[in-house]
Amino acid sequence: MQLPARPHPRDGLREPVYETLARKTGGSPAELHAMTGQLVALGAEEGLAYDFDRAVSVNTFDAHRLSHLARLHGLGAQMHERLMRAHLVEGELVDDVETLVRLGTDVGVPADKVRQVLTGDAFAADVREDIREAQALGVTGVPFFVLNRAYGVSGAQPVDNLLSALRTADAASSPAAR
């Protein structure tokens, strides 16, 4: 599969998250609200106020490039969290350059560096490689957890399912299993 050289945010479409989910899953509005309702409830337990009614699906190529830049500044985890909160809690358009500059500076990435990356092609090859690797691992959506580069867990799973997968991956990687 040939990946685009550098998709522009306008190349993707902006649409409400529920429309994207309906297109991808074929689920009914009631099913989708039930599914996201579970995520909202899980998020609330962790102090997160997910708002899928405000969330808009966009092309996140540039947001991923910003994440690569943030990693260079030792702020990768903070940038990831800020982008997720902006997208899923605040309803921000994370394909907009000015929004991304603001979000980058929120976590400490210099605005001039963010703008330089977003107006050029920096980290585009890195993001394309991330996409290729995800495709090779069978990732088709998010969240998707890869454990020991051998086990995949797709979707938001109950804690017991994730714990079981972690135990399986750990057991398989122990010296006794080799």
Helix, coil or strand: residue 71: helix
The reply to whether 90 falls in a domain is yes
The reply to whether 41 falls in a domain is yes
pLDDT at 2 over 60: no
Helix, coil or strand: residue 56: strand
Q: What's residue 7's pLDDT?
A: 47
The reply to whether 89 falls in a domain is yes
**How many whole angstroms separate alpha carbon 160 and alpha carbon 168?**
12
Q: What is the pTM of this model?
A: 0.81
pLDDT average, residue stretch 48-58:
93
Is 80 found in the same domain as 16? yes
pLDDT average, residue stretch 128-136:
91
Is 107 found in the same domain as 171? no
Residue 128's closest CA among 57, 58, 68, 56?
A: 68
pLDDT at 5 over 70: no
Higher pLDDT, 116 or 25: 116
Q: What's residue 177's pLDDT?
A: 55
Tell me how many domains the chain contains: 2
pLDDT average, residue stretch 142-146:
81
Is 106 found in the same domain as 29? yes
Residue 57's closest CA among 78, 38, 36, 76?
A: 36
Q: What's residue 66's pLDDT?
A: 98
Quote the mean pLDDT of the chain: 88
Banded pLDDT at 1 (limits 50, 70, 90): very low
Q: What's residue 144's pLDDT?
A: 83
Is 144 found in the same domain as 113? no
The 10s digit of each residue's pLDDT in 60-107 is: 999 999 999 999 999 999 999 999 999 999 999 999 999 999 999 999
Domain of 40 in residue numbering reads as: 9-137
Q: What's residue 138's pLDDT?
A: 83
Is 114 found in the same domain as 177? no
Which stretch of 9-13, 17-21, 115-119 has the lowest confidence by average pLDDT?
9-13
